[in-house]
Structure 1
Amino acid sequence: MFVKICGLRDIEAARVAVEAGADAIGFVYHPASPRHVGPEQIRSMVGALGDVPVETVLVVRGREIGEVLDVARAGGVRTIQFHGGEPDSDLLAAAEAGFGVIRARSLAEHLAEHDAEPATGARLMLDAPEPGAGRLMHVPDRAQLPGTPWILAGGLNPGNVRAQIENLHPHGVDVSSGVESARGVKDHEKIRQFVAAVRTP
């Protein structure tokens, strides 16, 4: 089960996520977000982690692709996660530039547009309609869920992630607000509890 801890803003929380067993850590580049970090902060965190085998992800929303690629390169990340309905051409540009690609969508967006996925090898993340709001994704019919690997996000926390995994059967999970003590402030113990809850059958 793939586990991503997102919205990290300091090296201490990043280290806790890695030591707890997270497969990926995410950095939000979106000035309107309380979790926003610039490329220099991202590079500092990525550099401080050294050669640990963790995927580093730049999370963007509604930014021009040239800016996104500049920030990703400056930050030293491996993957770009698009979270704002960006066009297929942006995902293709990121893949052609050598980055892994994640496309985040609501379930409704996925059902309306899943046939239009670009040939980028992009991984699919399904999130609640309001990303970062801490609300669970509503799934009226599990038959609507993808038949291919996908990542679940939205409203997850240490207390509900195991039930959501057993109910929806995603191939990965992503958390941000669910492991915070205050908006934008990661709680180290909650990070550990979240990863443990995912890893414990």
Structure 2
Amino acid sequence: MSGLIQIAGVKDLADAWNILAAGVNLVGFPLGLSVHPQDISCDQAATIIDKLHLGGSAVVITYLQKADEISKLCRRIGVSKVQLHGEPPVPQIERLRSKDASLFLIKSLIVRDGNLPELIDRMNQYAPFVDAFITDSFDPSTGACGATGKTHDWSISRRLVESSPRPVILAGGLTPANVKQAVLRVGPAGVDVHTGVEAPDGRKDPLLLNSFVTAAKRAFAALRKNQFASSTQDRIPGKKVS
């Protein structure tokens, strides 16, 4: 998992098509939410996923916390990936993993001021049962954990990337203007954007979508180049790395 690009938030079939046309890897469908209103129903999401043959490219983004409810939602709309933005107890994640081993589980790590030790502890608890993590921003004014349009302290996400035994996706306030800087600063396995590519009506803006994907791909290419250069330098006999 490297250089992954996810766009979240779908209002209708045309919206989903514009996201796919931009060349993304994953399309996120927020459902089972506790803060934000749902843009579409479960049945509408299932229809879009079926009509566009999204298959493994669709991700349910949910705040549900019980394994049985999460598994039922995934089966209902026909997806094999789920992004968990709530705080389900670890035993529920373990149950979900044992109940449906085919699910690709992404667990959110919500960045607040000064909560790095807490996040590392939770990351280590969840790591045996999930496939990836996603860092996102907390909005104290609404209580929202994701889709806030707010950035967070990228140094915390950087530390999580360095510490995590699983790939880490970066989200939170990303836009075409800042995604390159974010990727180079954090070094994530992927990026996710929701509000940062929306038009005033809340639908995805094709120009912003294309700009974001282009900027993200260039950023990941530069990151790989930097990492290659660093690893090559490390292998030079007698080379002291500062």
Question: TM-score, normalization: structure 1?
Answer: 0.88
Structure with the larger helix share: 2
Whether 2:157 is the aligned partner of 1:139: answer no
1:100 matched residue in structure 2:
104
Contact 2:161–2:187 under 8 Å retained in 1: no
2: CA distance, partners of 1:55 / 1:20: 13
Paired AA for residue 136 in structure 1: T
Cα deviations by residue, 1:120-157 (Å, 9 ceiling, x for unpaired): 24201111123211111213467623224210000001
Contact 1:35–1:184 under 8 Å retained in 2: no
Paired AA for residue 195 in structure 1: V
Cα deviations by residue, 1:56-95 (Å, 9 ceiling, x for unpaired): 1001114443222222111111111100111223323333
Contact 1:137–1:153 under 8 Å retained in 2: no
What is the aligned counterpart of 2:123 among 105, 110, 114?
114
Contact 1:79–1:101 under 8 Å retained in 2: yes
CA drift at 1:118: 4.5
Identity over aligned pairs, percent: 25
Structure with higher RCO (Cα < 8 A, 6+ apart):
1
Paired AA for residue 7 in structure 1: G
Whether 2:136 is the aligned partner of 1:127: answer yes
Which runs of no fewer than 5 residues in structure 2 stay unpaired? 140-145, 220-242
Cα deviations by residue, 1:166-187 (Å, 9 ceiling, x for unpaired): 1111110000010111374322
Contact 1:23–1:54 under 8 Å retained in 2: no
2: CA distance, partners of 1:174 / 1:48: 23
Whether 2:36 is the aligned partner of 1:33: answer yes
Paired AA for residue 166 in structure 1: L
SS across alignment from 2:161: coil
What is the aligned counterpart of 1:164 among 174, 182, 189?
182
Contact 1:92–1:118 under 8 Å retained in 2: no
Aligned residues between the structures: 200
Whichever of the two has the greater Rg, that structure is 2
Task: Please tell me the root mean square deviation across aligned C-alpha atoms, in Å.
Answer: 2.2
Paired AA for residue 28 in structure 2: G
2: CA distance, partners of 1:142 / 1:116: 17
Question: TM-score, normalization: structure 2?
Answer: 0.74
Distance 1:18 1:113, change over 3 A: same
